[in-house]
Amino acid sequence: MVGTMSVSVRDVAKTAGVSVGTVSNVLNNPDKVAAKTVAKVHSAIDELGFVRNDAARQLRAGKSRCIGLVVLDVRNPFFTDLARGAEDAAAEHNMSVLLANSDETSNRELAMLSLFEEQRVHGVLVTPVSDNLEPFIKARERGTPIVLVDRRSHDKNFSSVSVDDVAGGYLAASHLIETGKKKLAFAGGPISIQQVTDRLKGASKCTAEHPDVTLEIIPCRSLSILSGREIGEEILRRPKPNRPDAIFAANDLVAIGIMQACLTTDEISIPQDLGLIGYDDIGFAATAIVALTSIRQPTHEMGARAVELLIQEAEQTDGKRKVTRIEFQPELVIRDSTSMVSQQH
């Protein structure tokens, strides 16, 4: 019997000739119910087309089995990979991930946070737009666990999962120097983003150790392909002696933009005239026109670990809050955009 009216456990119980408690047990603790009864209940469920009402379940449970994830930009493969890691880890705990997109604006970020709070999600993972963590502190005080992803907490107040971006910057610059480059440039911005600053810091540290190497800083409006193209075009306008011989871009999108600009002319070839290295190792890096050398972050694992931290934090019923800050080490992935040897096209 199928219909548009709502079917409840009570209806199932009546049809199966058992009590509501038994139906609930069939759904949640099947081993506590006699096999014969389980069968009866299941057939009633099928017959009536019963679908468990999650709102009622949550109401009783006090918390939902969903985890909120607020990222800066769903279009950036880095974040969708991270989301996938979170989903996989959540699935192991029988939970789901709700993906939300702050679009780098505080307003949207706050709206999503409120939505998640009202939903009584198990917790919220967030890459905050700004340094002002006040709303998250408030939310946590109200009982919603919060974990920062891809971002260390300044105030050591939040658990977080991040990557050592200073080390990543060092790695990138050091690799460029090893390939014989001397006039390095760092392309990235806005500097309000912590990741950008850290990557630059690491690169500076490395170049400081090499007296014969210089590091120019080329600011950029946003971490997008378009910004990268603008930078590339600017470099093409320069007289040759003023051009860097290698660029470390703050992320892969910027690097790809620079690459596109350079390859529209014959003036600059990669990597001979210009070594190029990106950051994040998004899937697109390997398939770029000239396969892009990049700094890989354990994206999937970051998402997964963040979920673990969140669940752990949610279990801390006592007043004490244990703050755990996980920091991964980045990894250099060498491809054609810096390596003369493996040029195979």
Q: Which stretch binds a copy of itself (CB under 8 A): 29-37, 57-65, 151-159, 244-252?
A: 57-65
**Can residue 314 be called a binding residue for DNA (CB under 7 A)?**
no
Q: Which stretch binds a copy of itself (CB under 8 A): 118-126, 157-165, 201-209, 301-309?
A: 118-126
CB of 28 or CB of 269, closer to DNA = 28
CA angle 251, 73, 138 (to 5 degrees): 115
Of the candidates 214, 257, 251, the one whose C-alpha atom is nearest the C-alpha of residue 235 is: 257
Main-chain dihedrals φ then ψ at residue 326, nearest 5 degrees: -95, 130
The interface partner of residue 289, options being DNA, a copy of itself, none and the CB cut-off 5 to 8 Å by kind, is a copy of itself
Give the contacts of 14 (CB within 8 A, at least 6 positions apart): none
Q: Which of 39, 49, 59, 154 binds DNA (CB under 7 A)?
A: 59
**Can residue 43 be called a binding residue for DNA (CB under 7 A)?**
no
Q: Which of 6, 35, 240, 341 binds a copy of itself (CB under 8 A)?
A: 6
d(CA 218, CA 197): 13
d(CA 109, CA 226): 24
Q: Which stretch binds a copy of itself (CB under 8 A): 35-43, 135-143, 151-159, 202-210?
A: 135-143
Q: Which of 21, 49, 180, 219 binds DNA (CB under 7 A)?
A: 21
Give the contacts of 329 (CB within 8 A, at least 6 positions apart): 163, 164, 167
**Can residue 345 be called a binding residue for DNA (CB under 7 A)?**
no
Give the contacts of 286 (CB within 8 A, at least 6 positions apart): 292, 335
Work out the end-to-end distance of the chain between its first and last CA atoms, rounded to an integer number of angstroms. Answer: 65
158, burial (CB in 10 Å: exposed 0-12, middle 13-18, buried 19+): buried
**Can residue 222 be called a binding residue for a copy of itself (CB under 8 A)?**
no
**Can residue 345 be called a binding residue for a copy of itself (CB under 8 A)?**
yes
The per-residue b/e assignment along 295-312, b for 16 or more CB within 10 angstroms, e otherwise, is bbbbbbbbbbbbbbbbbe
What are the CA-CA distances from residue 120 to residues 64, 124, 184, 259 (Å)?
Answer: 6, 10, 49, 45
Q: Which of 151, 152, 175, 229 binds a copy of itself (CB under 8 A)?
A: 229
Q: Can you give the binding site for DNA, defined by CB under 7 A?
A: 6, 8-10, 17-25, 27-28, 32-34, 36-37, 50, 52-53, 56-57, 59-62
Q: Can you give the binding site for a copy of itself, defined by CB under 8 A?
A: 2-7, 49, 51-56, 58-59, 62, 64, 74-75, 77, 80, 83, 96, 98-99, 114-115, 117-120, 138, 141-143, 225-226, 229, 257, 260, 263-265, 284, 287-289, 319, 345
